[in-house]
Amino acid sequence: MLSRGKVLFPIADGVEDLEYWVTRMRLEEEGYQVLSASLTRDDVVGKNGLVIPVETLLTEADSRALAGLVLRFGLMSLLLPKVIWFGVALLPTSRISVES
């Protein structure tokens, strides 16, 4: 299967680990390469004790090389363009503007 591009999945300790893994596996099934990102390179421990390896730092992510950003906002996800599952949205990075 051809890749649909890379998506960044920001995570931190206490993340709902089951939601992370299910969302990640679903995105991979759809052809995306998922990169878990955090503030440090230390593994993240989810709410249920599952360990999630960090693949990149948030500060190193280049939005120009990404197809999207996975966001978990609950009701906020209703305002985003493409809701995928329960409160999880994939926001295309072409719609993200970062000013320095």
pLDDT digits (tens, 9 = 90+) for 6-62: 999 999 998 888 888 988 998 898 899 999 999 999 999 999 999 999 999 988 988
Per-residue model confidence (pLDDT) at position 62: 85
- Confidence label for 65 from pLDDT (cuts 50, 70 and 90): confident
Q: Are 37 and 63 in contact (CB under 8 A)?
A: no
pLDDT on residue 40? 94
Phi, psi angles (nearest 5°) of residue 51: -95, 135
**Cα–Cα distance for residue pair 84/57, rounded to 1 Å:** 24
Q: Which residue has the higher pLDDT, 45 or 97?
A: 45
